[in-house]
Amino acid sequence: MNTQVELFDNKVENDISIEPKDWMPDAYRKTLIRQIGQHGHSEVVGMLPEGNWITRAPTLKRKAVLLAKVQDEAGHGLYLYSAAETLGADRDDMMEKLIAGRMKYSSIFNYPTLTWADIAAIGWLVDGAAIVNQVALCRTSYGPYARAMVRICKEESFHQRQGFEAMMVLANGTPEQKAMAQDAVDRFWWPALMMFGPNDDNSPNSAASMAWKIKLFSNDELRQKFVNNTVPQVLQLGLTIPDKDLTFNEETGNYEFGEINWDEFFAVIAGKGPCNHERIEARRKAWEDGKWVRDSAAVYAQKQQVNAQK
Ligand code: ACO
If pLDDT is split at 50, 70 and 90, which confidence band does 1 have? low
pLDDT at position 310: 86
Q: Whose CA is nearest to atom 18 of ligand 1?
A: 104
Q: Which of 48, 205, 217, 226 to mutate to test the pocket of ligand 1 (most atoms within 8 A of CB)?
A: 205
- Evaluate whether 245 touches 193 at the Cβ level (below 8 Å): no
Q: What angle do CA 183, 187, 193 make, to 5 degrees?
A: 135
Task: Quote the radius of gyration of the chain (alpha carbons, Å).
Answer: 21
Q: Give the mean pLDDT of 96-101.
A: 97
Ligand 1 close to Cβ of residue 205 (< 6 A): yes
Q: Which long-range contacts (CB under 8 A, 24 or more apart) does 65-72 make?
A: 65/162, 66/119, 69/123, 69/159, 69/162, 72/155, 72/159
Q: Give the mean pLDDT of 59-75.
A: 97
Ligand 1 close to Cβ of residue 219 (< 6 A): yes
Ligand 1 close to Cβ of residue 62 (< 6 A): no
Ligand 1 close to Cβ of residue 148 (< 6 A): no
To the nearest whole number, what is the mean pLDDT of the chain?
A: 97
ipTM value, please give it.
Answer: 0.98
Nearest-angstrom CA–CA distance, 226 and 193: 8
pLDDT at position 105: 98
Q: Give the mean pLDDT of 143-158.
A: 96
Nearest-angstrom CA–CA distance, 217 and 209: 10
DSSP code at position 202: G
Residue 245 has pLDDT above 70, yes or no: yes
